[in-house]
Chains A and B, each alone.
Chain A
Amino acid sequence: MNIAIIKYNAGNVASVMYALDRIGAKYTWTDDEKVIQAADKVIFPGVGEASTAMAYLKEKKLDQLIPTLKQPVLATCIGMQLLCKHSEENDTDCMGVFDVNITRFQSNTLKIPHVGWNSIQARGTNDLMKGLNETEFVYFVHSFYAPVYQDTSATCNYVQPFSAMLQKDNFFAAQFHAEISGKVGQKIIQNFLDL
């Protein structure tokens, strides 16, 4: 199988690559349109800030390519947020695969960012949580979130319920870091590769 990890300026992807190594999957780290299009699976990871990441994707025209991909795509953390419609983080227009807006957590009592292990609950169809319990712990680090809406495939509760995972057609997304979420994260990645 041919996996493309999308190369852009959002954070380091070493942990993602090592997670794939542990599963025994081969991958290419690339921003080449043709290589991405030809891949069996595409992973769109990322840690970073929305407007800087979108600016880079636009420069490389990847913002045009990604929404048109037909193979299974897994987006994590900022990758997931960039697939939504708009992010409140520096008022950024995103790619709009998921018809939902990203907003910032607001709380007087809870700390922001949301950092650590929190439980997620599967909701509706969730192909990536197959073989897992309905509730599992995964590792989060983020200040912005997608509210729960029709494409939410798992929810998490912090300040209020929010989308821990999204799923629509061939697009799968996780707000948490599956690559460092222990055995649960590994299973989620494995399920994606098995699609």
Chain B
Amino acid sequence: MLTKRIIPCLDIKEGRTVKGTNFVDLRDAGDPVELGAFYAENGADELVFLDITATIDNRKTLVELVKQVARQVNIPFTVGGGIGSIEDVSALLNAGADKVSINSSAVRRPGLIDELALQFGSQCIIVAIDTRFVEDIDWVHTHGGRNITPIKTIEWAKEVEQRGAGEILLTSMDTDGTKAGFANQLTAKISSNASIPIIASGGAGTMEDFYDVFTLGKADAGLAASIFHFKEIEINALKNYLAKKGIPMRI
């Protein structure tokens, strides 16, 4: 049976993990390679690396980092942050990334999704959507959720699929950082309308939140950062919990 995926997300700045971690058993908790390998060994189904600096100098650092991660890690991994061209994607895939995630650049120029899907195949193109609920409607936001756009989230999700996105990474800015649970209603609405998998992100605080996002939210994967980094929830324990409650998991 196809399992639901649990995905830890690492924020990278100048080649290092930021937001801190709470891994006493790691030599260097700021080293993304070591942290990535730790997660791969301990139940993560995939990894997402998000480059939050994304300047030209840092692109080279990022490509080097991707190489090191790819050498170590034997599960799929995705790189996102500041990707805006075929060349960017080509460099990351050649370095060993399995997928890339694009966000603001796709909103600015939706045709980029078609171009990337044609060039590299839909399977490696994730479109990340940051969404916030404003005056009764869910709107797409860019620049880490700071800027509102005139695009409705539901419609954008449909459009990115039609243009060739292979998966959608949906982050609710309303729930992100609250630890009060994922945006299940919106996630369910988008997932039910989509043929491609939906990775839900933003708001995970408890194991039950993951149960809810896979049942109520109809998500295909659940992504979180700090609760894993600070060991508030351990991935293996989470997967055992979900499996006992009847959610298909790779144990």
A interface residues with partner B (beta carbon < 8 Å): 11-12, 14-15, 18-19, 21-22, 47-49, 111-119, 137, 139, 141-142, 157-158, 177, 179-183, 185-186
Tell me if B221 is interfacial: C-beta within 8 Å of chain A.
yes
Interface pairs (18), CB distance under 8 Å? A11-B120, A18-B71, A48-B121, A111-B197, A113-B196, A114-B2, A115-B196, A116-B3, A116-B4, A116-B5, A117-B2, A118-B1, A139-B75, A142-B123, A157-B1, A180-B75, A182-B74, A185-B74
Tell me if B40 is interfacial: C-beta within 8 Å of chain A.
yes
Q: B1 near A180 (CB under 8 angstroms)? A: no
Q: A47 near B2 (CB under 8 angstroms)? A: no
Which residues on A sit within 8 Å (CB–CB) of B122?
A: 113
Which residues on B sit within 8 Å (CB–CB) of A141?
A: 123, 166
Question: How many residues from B make CB contacts under 8 Å with A?
Answer: 32
Residues B84-112 near A (CB distance < 8 A):
93-96, 98
Q: A115 near B40 (CB under 8 angstroms)? A: no
B162-202 interface code vs A (CB 8 A; 1 in, 0 out): 00001100000000000000000000000000111100000
Q: How far, in angstroms, from A18 to B124 measured CA to CA in the complex?
A: 18
Tell me if B70 is interfacial: C-beta within 8 Å of chain A.
yes
Q: How far, in angstroms, from A165 to B98 measured CA to CA in the complex?
A: 21
Q: A139 near B1 (CB under 8 angstroms)? A: no
Report if A116-B166 is in contact (Cβ < 8 Å); known contacts: A12-B93, A157-B1: no
Q: A113 near B250 (CB under 8 angstroms)? A: no
Choose among A116, A118, A186 the residue with the greatest number of B CB atoms under 10 Å from its CB.
A116
* Contact among B70, B71, B76 for A139, CB-based, below 8 A: B76
Known A12-B120, A116-B5, A118-B2; 20 more pairs at CB < 8 Å: A12-B94, A18-B70, A111-B220, A112-B195, A115-B123, A116-B4, A116-B197, A116-B221, A117-B2, A117-B45, A117-B250, A137-B250, A141-B166, A177-B76, A180-B74, A180-B76, A180-B77, A180-B98, A185-B74, A186-B74
Q: How far is the CB of A9 from chain B (nearest CB, A)?
A: 11
Name B3's closest neighbour in chain A (CB-CB): A117
Name B93's closest neighbour in chain A (CB-CB): A12
Report if A115-B220 is in contact (Cβ < 8 Å); known contacts: A137-B250, A182-B40: yes
Q: How far, in angstroms, from A137 to B93 measured CA to CA in the complex?
A: 24
Q: B74 near A117 (CB under 8 angstroms)? A: no
Q: B1 near A49 (CB under 8 angstroms)? A: no
Q: A15 near B121 (CB under 8 angstroms)? A: no
Q: How far, in angstroms, from A18 to B221 measured CA to CA in the complex?
A: 26
Q: How far, in angstroms, from A158 to B1 measured CA to CA in the complex?
A: 7
Q: How far, in angstroms, from A118 to B4 measured CA to CA in the complex?
A: 9
Q: How far is the CB of A117 from chain B (nearest CB, A)?
A: 4
Residues B25-75 near A (CB distance < 8 A):
40, 45, 70-71, 74-75
Name A49's closest neighbour in chain B (CB-CB): B121
Q: How far is the CB of B249 from chain A (nearest CB, A)?
A: 9
Choose among B70, B74, B123, B250 the residue with the greatest number of A CB atoms under 10 Å from its CB.
B74
Choose among B98, B124, B194 the residue with the greatest number of A CB atoms under 10 Å from its CB.
B98
Q: How far is the CB of B2 from chain A (nearest CB, A)?
A: 5
Q: How far, in angstroms, from A113 to B3 measured CA to CA in the complex?
A: 14
Q: B1 near A15 (CB under 8 angstroms)? A: no
Report if A47-B124 is in contact (Cβ < 8 Å); known contacts: A117-B250, A119-B1: yes
Name A12's closest neighbour in chain B (CB-CB): B93
